[in-house]
Amino acid sequence: MLMTLIDTWLAMRRASGFALTNYERQLHRFAEFASDCGEGHVRAETAIAWASQAATPGQRCRHFQRLVQLARYLHAEDPRHEVLPQGRFPGKRHRPVPHIYTAEEARRLLEAAARLGPAGSIRPHTMSTLLALLFATGLRISEALALRMADVTPDGLVIHKTKFGKTRLVPLHSSAHSGLEQYLLRRRRIVGGDDYVFVSLDSTHLSYAGFRKAWLVVRREAGLQPPRAGGRGPRVHDIRHTFAVRALEHAPDRRDQVARHMLAVSTYLGHSCVADTYWYLQTTPTLMSQVADACQRHFERGQQP
């Protein structure tokens, strides 16, 4: 019975656009655990015992929090499902400090990508164009790798159902559009009939594993290795953070205009709400200088910062 109730709850949330793949896997495991205990309802003691089996504090917190959400929904329909205590497993989502690429670092990455071998292959053109497109648009790497030829239109890139099942149009600057067209002309001469925009050495769809293998080489050749052995070097996802930060740096001065600007950036990035975009922001010297200038204007002339 509990398994059926879980599936009903997941179906309701998926109707709002959530994928919930990990939710389903974990909640089904809880349902099996509860069934082995002879229980058909959510009970706090059983939920705590199940979540306690997770390997790390973060996993225990996430698993239990999913049960908290489920229990609230089920309790509203049937009070035999217990409302679970908040904060039973403390833990917070860890946000790694993103690396905001400088223009010089971006240039080095693109040059290193263009030097990749083998000579005469499509690989250096694929990697340099792909990275340039990420810097120009802030696309998720999964979105860029999923692009099909028909998704490249005169109006921009059509990004099909990604997070929350959304499809959006990403307009391109003329320079980005020109660079992509040059790559596609070369790609059509070298590669056969594969429908994906970005292809691998064997002329098939470039997978994330194939991209990551080349990315690690490019990052090393660009001199952007981790600061110490075992450390975390700049990530490809940090390019998306960089795009969001640079977009904020170029926002208009007035507060009401900044709000509209950030809403446009959030839509461009494919976020469901502007708060998701704030996750990508990071202080930079330019941003702090702009804040200081706005405060100075406010105090000197009484203007709104």
Any idea where the domains of the chain sit in the sequence?
A: 2-77, 103-221, 238-301
Residue with tokens 């670092």: 105
More confident residue, 238 or 278: 238
Q: How confident is the model at residue 97 (pLDDT cuts 50, 70, 90)?
A: confident
Which residue of the set 60, 140, 219, 241 is catalytic?
140
Residue 64 belongs to what H/E stretch?
Answer: helix 57-77
Residue 168 has what DSSP assignment?
Answer: E
More confident residue, 86 or 164: 86
| Bridge partner residues of 196 (DSSP) | 148
Residue 149 has what DSSP assignment?
Answer: G
Q: How confident is the model at residue 93 (pLDDT cuts 50, 70, 90)?
A: low
Which residue of the set 163, 168, 186, 205 is catalytic?
163
Q: Establish whether 73 is a catalytic residue.
A: no
d(CA 247, CA 176): 16
Could you report the per-residue pLDDT of 146-177, keeping only the tens digit for each? 999 999 999 999 998 776 667 899 999 999 99
| Bridge partner residues of 170 (DSSP) | 157
Output the pTM of the full model. 0.69
Q: How confident is the model at residue 254 (pLDDT cuts 50, 70, 90)?
A: low
Res 86 pLDDT > 70? yes
Q: Establish whether 173 is a catalytic residue.
A: no
More confident residue, 190 or 221: 221
Ranking 74-83, 149-158, 238-247, 248-257 by mean pLDDT, the lowest is 248-257
| Bridge partner residues of 168 (DSSP) | 159
| Bridge partner residues of 169 (DSSP) | 158
**CATH: 1.10.10.10, 3.40.50.300, 3.20.20.140, 1.10.443.10. Which one for 103-221?**
1.10.443.10
**132, exposed or middle or buried, with CB in 10 Å at 0-12, 13-18, 19+?**
buried
d(CA 279, CA 11): 28
Res 95 pLDDT > 70? no
Q: Establish whether 60 is a catalytic residue.
A: no
Which residue of the set 240, 241, 246, 268 is catalytic?
240
Q: Establish whether 161 is a catalytic residue.
A: no
Q: Establish whether 187 is a catalytic residue.
A: no
Half-sphere exposure of 107 (CA within 13 A, CB side): 3
* 152-153 vs 168-170, strand pairing mode: unpaired
d(CA 100, CA 239): 7
Which residue of the set 14, 88, 168, 237 is catalytic?
237
Could you report the per-residue pLDDT of 42-67, keeping only the tens digit for each? 999 999 999 999 988 888 998 999 99
Q: Establish whether 271 is a catalytic residue.
A: yes
Ranking 6-15, 36-45, 119-128, 281-290 by mean pLDDT, the lowest is 281-290
Could you report the per-residue pLDDT of 106-135, keeping only the tens digit for each? 999 999 999 999 988 999 999 999 999 999
- Report the 10 Å Cβ neighbour count for 246: 18
pLDDT score recorded for residue 253: 67
pLDDT score recorded for residue 229: 61
d(CA 147, CA 134): 12
Residue with tokens 């056969």: 192
**Cα dihedral 26, 30, 36, 41 sign:** negative
Res 294 pLDDT > 70? no
